[in-house]
Amino acid sequence: MSIKNNRNQALVDKLIQLKEQRNAVILAHNYQLGEVQDIADFVGDSLGLSQKAAETETEVIVFCGVHFMAETASILCPDKIVLLPEVNAGCPMANMVTVEKLKEKKQKYGHPYVVCYVNSTAEVKAESDVCCTSANAVKIVKGLDQTRKVLFIPDQYLGHYVSGQAGKEIILWPGYCPTHLRILPQDILRLRKEHPQAKVIVHPECRPEVISLADEVQSTEGMCRYAKTTENNEIIVGTELGIIHRLRKENPGKRFLSASEQAICPNMKLITLEKVVWSLKEMQHQIKVPARIANRARKAVDRMLELR
Ligand code: 13P
Ligand code: SF4
C-alpha cells in the first residue's frame, strides 16, 4: 500500500469512529473532491442534498459543499448541528445579491414575485417568495400565477434559460457563476468535431451560447441520471470538473470528457478528507442561521420542496 493510501485508510478509520460517536451523517455535493465523495453517505445536487438534510435523523450533519448549502441545511433542520469543514468555502454567485439591493429592485418593479436560486444567502432567501434549484427552476416558474411579474435572482443565465423554457418574461439579476462562465462555445464545437458520436450535457448556469449547443441541459443530479440511462458511450460534460469522478465511478464502461479543464470551482475544492475528520473531531465550523432569518427563509425553501 502506498503512503497516500495508508494515510487515507487511517483517516477513513478515524472518520467511521467519529461519525458513530457524534451520530453524524456526511452529505457531499457532486463537485467535491473524489476523496470526499467516496466517504460521504450521500452525494447529490443542491435539491437532493436539501431533501436529505430535511429527512435525516442524525444529530449532526457534516456538509461537504459551499456555505449556502450548509445554511440551507440549518434552515431546514434548526435543531441539528450543521458542520461545514471549511468555513471559507463560499459561492461567489451567492454574494452577488444583497438584501438592500434586492429591496431596491423589488420597489423599482412594483414588488414582483421573487424566485430565488438556492445559491444565495439565508438573508436573501428570507426576502424571497420561493426558492428553486437548477433541477426544479423551470417547473417552479411554470407553476406560478402567470399574471404576476417574476424577478429571478441571482443567476442571470439560469433565469434566462428558465424564461425560455417556461415561455415567460422574467426580470433578471446580473449574477453569474464564474466557473460555468469559463465554458465557452468554442470548447463544445471543438469537442463535437473531435468526438462526433458524443452527446453534450451542460448545466443551466452556462452561457446561452453554450446551452444552445447542448443535447441536454441538466442539474448535476440530472446529468448523473442521464449518464446511467443513455445508450451513448461518450459524453461531453459542461459543468464543474468534480462531477467526472462520480460519472466515471457509476458508469465504468462509458467515456466522459470535460467541456473545459478550466471549469473548476475553487471553493468546492477547499474541503479535503483531512478537514472532514477535523470537522467532526472539533465540531467545527458550526453553521447556524439565526431563528429570525431562518423562520422566514424556511417559508421560501418549504414552498420549493412542496412544489418540486
Ligand atoms: P446543482 O444543484 O445542479 O448541483 O448545482 C449547484 C451548483 O452550485 C452549480 O454550480
Ligand atoms: Fe457557486 Fe459556481 Fe461554485 Fe456552484 S460552481 S458553488 S455556482 S461558484
Q: Which residue ranges make up each domain of the chain?
A: 3-89+268-290, 94-177, 183-258
**Any idea which architecture 3-89+268-290 has in CATH?**
3-Layer(aba) Sandwich (3.40)
Going residue by residue through the chain (308 aa), what tens digit of pLDDT does each one get?
677 777 789 999 999 999 999 999 999 999 999 999 999 999 999 989 999 999 999 999 999 999 999 999 999 999 999 999 999 999 999 999 999 999 999 999 999 999 999 999 999 999 999 999 999 999 999 999 989 999 999 999 999 999 999 999 999 999 999 999 999 999 999 999 999 999 999 999 999 999 999 999 999 999 999 999 999 999 999 999 999 999 999 999 999 999 999 999 999 999 999 999 999 999 999 999 999 999 999 999 999 988 76
CB-side exposure of 197: number of CA atoms within 13 Å? 8
Atom of ligand 1 nearest to the CA of 177: 10
Any ligand 1 atom below 6 A from CB of 155:
no
**pLDDT score, position 6:** 79
Any ligand 1 atom below 6 A from CB of 136:
no
The β-bridge partners of 166 are none
Q: How far is the CA of 6 from the centre of ligand 2 (A)?
A: 32
Within the chain, strands assigned E span 24-29, 42-44, 60-64, 81-83, 113-117, 130-132, 150-153, 171-172, 199-202, 216-217, 234-238, 255-258
Cell numbers placing 240: 464543474
Q: Superfamily assignment of 94-177 in CATH?
A: NadA-like (3.40.50.10800)
Atom of ligand 2 nearest to the CA of 65: 6
**Which class would CATH give 183-258?**
alpha beta
Any ligand 1 atom below 6 A from CB of 32:
no
Q: How far is the CA of 286 from the centre of ligand 1 (A)?
A: 22
Domains 94-177 and 183-258 share a fold: yes
Whose C-alpha lies nearest to ligand 2, atom 3? 265
What is this structure's pTM? 0.96
Taking the C-alpha atoms of residue 43 and residue 163, their distance in angstroms, rounded to an integer, is: 29
Helices 220-229 and 243-250: crossing angle, nearest 10°?
Answer: 20
Any ligand 2 atom below 6 A from CB of 177:
yes
**pLDDT score, position 7:** 79
Any ligand 2 atom below 6 A from CB of 66:
yes
Cell numbers placing 249: 465511478
**pLDDT score, position 4:** 72
Whose C-alpha lies nearest to ligand 1, atom 9? 205
Whose C-alpha lies nearest to ligand 1, atom 3? 219
Q: How far is the CA of 227 from the centre of ligand 1 (A)?
A: 17
Atom of ligand 1 nearest to the CA of 180: 10
Q: How far is the CA of 92 from the centre of ligand 2 (A)?
A: 7
Any ligand 1 atom below 6 A from CB of 219:
yes
Whose C-alpha lies nearest to ligand 2, atom 5? 265
**pLDDT score, position 308:** 67
